[in-house]
Structure 1
Amino acid sequence: MTMVHIATKAISRKAGQSAVACAAYRAGDVLDDAKYGKTHDYSKKSGVMSSDIVLPFSLKALGVSVDRETLWNTAEAAETRSDSRVAREWLINLPHELSEEERHSLAINFAQKLCDDMDVIADVCIHRPVMKLPFDPNVPPSSKYLREDEENPDPRNFHAHILVTTRAPTIGPNKTLAFDPKLKTPFEWSNKKRKAHDLPSSMQEIKRIREMWVDTANKVLAEYHLPLMDARSYKDQGLDQQPTIKMGVEATAMERRGITTEKGNTNRAIKARNNLVADNHIKQEADNERRISALRKGLAWATEKNARLPGSIGGTKQRADFAKHLSGSSEYYITYCTKQSHRTAIRVDDTKRCVEEAKSGIAWAAKQCEDLPKRCDDTKQRINDTKQENNKLTQRIDDTKQAIEGITEAIGKSNIEINKATERSARPAPSPFDDDARRARAARLDRQEGRIDRDTRANRFEDERIFEYAERMKLHLAMRLIQRHREAMAINWAQGETAADAPDKFDQRQVALLSEFAQRHGIEDHDKAVEFTAHLRQVAKRFDYTLVENNKAIIKLLRDPNAEREQYLALTKHFTDFRDNIDQKRAAFNTSIIDKLGGSAGEVGRMTRDIISSSSYIEGLNHYINNDSHSVEARDVAKEYLADTLDKTCQQFKLALRDVNSLPPTQRKTYSEALKATLETFTEQYGKELSESQHKALQGGLESYKHQVNKTHSPSRGFSL
């Protein structure tokens, strides 16, 4: 599978960044920065394969063109705040299996989709794999990058930096480029503003763009019959693979210099573990194929054996009964054929849907072209409105000047009156060396210093109080985590205790989640050899800011298990209702086929009817699991229930095959044939998903069936007188 990597970050003045500098670095270019009065020269940067400016279709249709320096200086000039986001970068990993031209075409195609989708301008720079060499004082600085003919440990790292604007472009006079100073693109809005405009959250938008990148790349990969990308996580793909952690700049540099780091060791251990799991998976696949082959041989043997049996099972009368059974069971086979036709119809509908989506895209593009004159008129209208606002502003300035002149004149008259009053009173002017005024000023400063001291002491006390509360909370969380298995923390199901009786205790699912969290972070349970208080404080230190921020769900679970449980039940209630519905349908179907099988046949008959309806039942569960509209929690519960259903069905096969020969002759044949036919279908559909123990259950049931058949038809060895 081709690797999927797409990430985004903001270029912000708050972080001391400049859009012009970032564009020059990524393009390996020389750009003049008008705002800061600098020249950014990265012309000696190696590894840059291409750099292109991509405009949205609306600007291309108007014949607008712009160079890199003008683009990013204009983008910088449109921002007035000191903490503005001046650009945004999308970093994508390009498939190394493609040629240079194909990678360039793919990157430009995706950037064009970004521009049209977000109404922005993109600067696309493609970089080849380049690794910095370890520091060597004997090597000149100009040789710090590998040449193209030098060996690179990872030649797959072809990637593209797509720098996009944060404001929608507009057309100024003479088709010059400008940006709307009043409105950022919707992607840069806060989640609160996006929600007010009925837009999805930023995280959901990033996921949508990730899927758009994967779809764009897969179309190209499919043309060359290369492995496709998959935007889903390892968990959603059903792969037992663990993702590596991010190394960071410092750890990566140390590893390049030959210094072993903790993060590097962790990633090496994860990769070794993933390789071992993959090898075991391949081995398991081979074992499954071997077991399925053995089961098929067993079925063929049983079928041949029954065909040769005389009398009660293999005779002419029984073949007639079997024909009647086939006639009576025609509805079952018709249903099966109907399902196959339904699947074909679904594929046809999917194809039609793809065609309709393509037509919709063409219609959208046509509508965009039709809207171009209107957008030009809107731009002209905005320019006229701006001119009117400028005229109004000029008028206000003139009015303000007149008001200032009137105030100045009034002040002059007031000064004349004040001077006259001063002359009449003949009072001496206050001395600047007046002791009373100096003492009053000193007293005012003392009061201000006292107030500052009081505020400082209050803030220090508040900080200490918050710190003490945080420490107590960390100890509380650590204690609940390391004592999660104890009776005081976990619900005692063995004694009949329920979540309603003890809402503040952890249930079995929550204990499993906490155990997985503790194992992942290396938090061990209390060792009796270590003092409990010391171990508690050691675990409490692990609850730092990073751990709490990255594991908010676990922290919420530790603080309030009942609230987390209610939220989980609310999310999984949809599957509970769905399961009850399909259980009712399954029970009705099982009842409807009793007469066709020749009677209820007791417990063996009940298990056989469950086995016959298991395929459609499991198919319904798989359909629910693959429906992305359901919550992740509900689908996870459905996966667990599916695993239990498969295990239960294998055990029913084992018991039913073992006891089917104990049925009366009138029922034995129909139930035996139904079990064998269903077993063959079941192993073909789900054999690769079964575990070793489940395969053993099927094999054991089949062997018991063979033994009973052989025992029934073996000659008697009684004594004769």
Structure 2
Amino acid sequence: MAIFHLSVKIISRSSGRSAIAAAAYRAGEKLKDEEVEKFHDFSKKKGVVYSEIQLPENAPNEYKDRQTLWNKVQEVEKRADAQLAREVEVALPQELDRKKQIELAHDYIQQQFVNKGMIADWSIHDKGDGNPHAHIMLTTRSLKKDGTWESKQKSTYLLDENGEKVPQIDPKTGKQKIGARGRKMWKRTTVAYNDWNNRDNVELWRSEWAKQVNRYLEPSKKIDNRSYKRQGVEKIPTIHEGYMAREIEKNGGNSDRVNINKKIRKFNSSIENNNIILGKLERVRNALLLEFLEKLRKRARKAMLKIIKDKKQQYQLFKQKLEKWEEQIDAELNKQSNRNNERERKTGSEDTTIRIRQREIERRERDFKLREQEIKRASDKSKKRRDLSKGIGNARRGSKNYRSSRENQYYQEYTKPKGRGM
């Protein structure tokens, strides 16, 4: 099964390593280190199945020779702590045959390293133990257009946030320093000629290797450059065993690293089995849930159809009743209107006669009141005259039976009924 593995190391002189020795070991060849006049012979090494050197456009063809290439590298790197080469190690998928493995590695190296100006010396190791892998040695110094080596660093002006040069200030005067021939002095800094040492490149190389490998694999066997934690996978990663640990196990010994990995794989296997069981239970639960929901849907459909049918019947009955009520109300309104019209026709003439008689009665009542007032005034005057003339006192004036003949005459004439309706 394909696994993801990509590691990056630096081959440095400060750790006592040699670029010639590293190249000889990885290619399984005998190379001479001209710096120390020493041969490094790994021609008897087993498991080296393929080697190749890929050059950028501006590299001399003589660098196709491995011994020439790495002796030139060591010659140009003068420092005691110089970085001689960068090594990238990748695991090749077992599912691919040798031709596909070579094609995969070649295309990846060309795109990610050679096209950016690096020289790549790489070899495939496969001892038939299920661990095919490639060692890629890369130069750390760029090449100029003429094929000569470029400096690793270059001096340039220090720029501020606005992209302007930063002046050198004289602490005594507080003004910009003036150099020879009256030239102004500016601050300078050293920067790398290329960005190959940028740490972000490692993440890029890892992700691109995973993409390149997955182009050759089936969807179920694809690899992922992310850690289990970043993937959200509940597994413990194994540790790197190394060649020596596997050799100890082959010879019947016990290696701590191999034992640790055995325990990790056993634990991960139990987790995977548990996840498989949980997955099956989840699928069964989902199937039962879907079946139950389907039953609910059928019951809901039947209930809704029944409700809709009943509602239609209820609506028709209500509509019929409403129409009957409207007809009854219209009939009652028509009857009441007819009765009101008849009443108005019958009472029209009677009301006119009654109003005429009422006005006559009111007129006679007014006349009676006026006549009564006149009679009263006239009787009062006559009484006063008689009392004064005859000298009659208050006793006779207050008698109830006393009434003048003239007064009685007027009263009798008035009280007689006159005319119709009295």
Counterpart residue type for residue 14 of structure 2? K
Residues 295, 82 of structure 1: alpha-carbon distance in 2 compared, 3 angstrom cutoff: same
Q: Match of 1:461?
A: none
Asked if the contact 1:241–1:277 (Cα under 8 Å) also holds between the matched residues in 2, the reply is yes
Superposition pairs for residues 468-617 of structure 1, below 5 Å?
none
Specify the code of the residue in structure 2 equivalent to 1:284. L
- Pairing 1:268-667 to 2, within 5 Å after superposition: 268-309=262-303, 313=307, 315=309, 317=311
1:107 aligns with 2:105: yes
- Alpha-carbon spacing, 1:194–1:227, altered in 2? closer, same or farther (3 Å): farther
Q: CA deviation at 1:280?
A: 1.2
Q: Write the distance in 2 (CA, Å) between the matches of 1:249 and 1:167.
A: 31
CA contact (8 A) 2:153 2:190 kept: no
Residues 117/317 of structure 1: CA separation in 2 closer, same or farther (3 Å cut): farther
The answer to whether residue 179 in structure 2 is matched with residue 205 in structure 1 is: no
Q: Using a 3 Å threshold, how does the CA distance of structure 1 residues 286 and 315 change in structure 2: closer, same or farther?
A: farther
Find the residue that maps to 2:17 and give its secondary structure.
coil
Give the TM-score normalised by the residue count of structure 1: 0.36
In 2, Cα distance between equivalents of 1:64 and 1:32: 16
Aligned counterpart for 1:178 among listed residues 142, 148, 155? 148
Say which SS state the counterpart of residue 245 (structure 1) adopts: coil
Distance apart, 1:199 and its partner CA: 7.0
Q: Equivalent residue of 1:221, what SS? A: coil
1:104: how far off?
Answer: 0.6
Q: What is the CA-CA distance between 1:178 and the residue it aligns to? A: 3.2
| Alignment-derived partner of residue 385 in structure 1 | none
Measured on the aligned residues, the alpha-carbon RMSD in Å equals: 3.3
8 Å CA contact 1:308, 1:314 repeated in 2: no
Count residues with an aligned counterpart: 280
Q: What is the percentage of aligned positions where both structures have the same residue?
A: 34
Query: TM-score scaled by structure 2?
Result: 0.59
Q: What's the offset of the Cα at 1:205?
A: 2.1
Distance 2:197 2:84 in 1: 21
Distance 1:171 1:70, change over 3 A: farther
- What residue in structure 2 maps to residue 164 of structure 1? 138
* Distance in structure 2 (CA, Å) of the matches to 1:274 and 1:83: 43
Contact 2:63–2:69 (CA<8 Å) still a contact in 1? no
Which residue of structure 1 aligns with residue 37 of structure 2?
A: 37
Q: Quote the residue 1:592 is aligned against.
A: none
Deviation at 1:94, TM superposition (A): 0.8
Is 1:230 aligned with 2:224? yes
Name the residue aligned to 1:245: 239
**Max radius of gyration: which structure?**
2
Does the CA contact (< 8 Å) of 1:79 and 1:181 recur in 2?
no
- Aligned position for 1:84: 82
The one-letter code sitting in structure 1 at the alignment partner of 2:34 is A
Give the superposition deviation at 1:275.
0.5
One-letter amino acid matched to 2:37: G
CA distance in structure 2 between the aligned counterparts of 1:250 and 1:100, rounded to whole angstroms: 25
CA distance in 1, matches of 2:52, 2:236: 37
SS of residue in 1 equivalent to 2:216: helix
Q: Does the Cα contact within 8 Å between 1:31 and 1:39 map onto a contact in 2? A: yes
SS at match of 2:299: helix
C-alpha distance 289-236 of structure 1, shift in aligned 2 (>3 A): same
By percentage of residues, which structure has more strand?
Answer: 2
Question: Which range moved further: 306-315 or 250-259?
Answer: 306-315
Which segments of 5 or more consecutive residues in structure 1 lack a partner in the other structure? 131-151, 185-192, 319-721
Shift of 1:42: 1.5
1:168 Cα deviation after fit: 0.8
Cα shift at 1:253: 4.3
Deviation string 1:451-502 (CA, Å, 9 cap, x unpaired) is xxxxxxxxxxxxxxxxxxxxxxxxxxxxxxxxxxxxxxxxxxxxxxxxxxxx
Change (3 A) 1:310 1:124: closer
Higher helix share: 1
Is contact 1:53-1:121 (8 Å) kept?
yes
Q: Distance in 2 between matches of 1:168 and 1:20?
A: 19
In structure 2, what residue type is equivalent to 1:221?
A: L
Give the direction of change, closer, same or farther, for the CA distance of 1:76–1:65 in structure 2 (3 Å limit). closer
Distance in 2, matches of 1:232 and 1:47, equals 29
Distance 1:316 1:266 in 2: 74
Change (3 A) 1:110 1:198: closer
Amino acid at match of 1:220: Y
Q: SS at 1:82's partner residue?
A: coil
Change (3 A) 1:88 1:311: closer
Structure 2 partner of 1:410 = none
1:59 maps to what in 2? Answer: 58
Larger relative CO (CA 8 A, sep 6+): 1 or 2? 2
SS at match of 2:113: helix
Aligned to 1:217: 213
Q: Is the partner of 1:167 in helix, strand or coil? A: coil
Q: CA 1:16/1:234 → structure 2, altered by over 3 Å: closer, same or farther?
A: same
2:191 and 2:268 mapped to 1: Cα distance? 40
Q: What code does the residue aligned with 1:287 have? A: L
- Structure 2 match to 1:16: 16
1:49/1:262 Cα in 2 relative to 1: closer, same or farther (>3 Å)? closer
Helix, strand or coil for the counterpart of 1:8? strand
- Confirm or deny: 8 A CA contact 2:140 2:196 kept in the other structure: no
Matching residue of 2:5: 5
- CA distance, structure 1, for counterparts of residue 137 and residue 42 of structure 2: 17
Residue 210 of structure 1 and its aligned partner are, at CA, apart by: 0.6
Q: How does 1:179-198 map to 2 (within 5 A)?
A: 179-183=149-153
Kindly indicate whether the alpha-carbon contact (under 8 Å) linking 1:6 and 1:92 is maintained by their aligned counterparts in 2. yes
Q: Distance in 2 between matches of 1:316 and 1:293?
A: 35
Query: Secondary structure, in 3 states, of the residue corresponding to 1:92?
Result: strand
Contact 2:27 2:51 survives alignment (8 Å):
yes
What is the one-letter code of the residue matched to 1:90? V
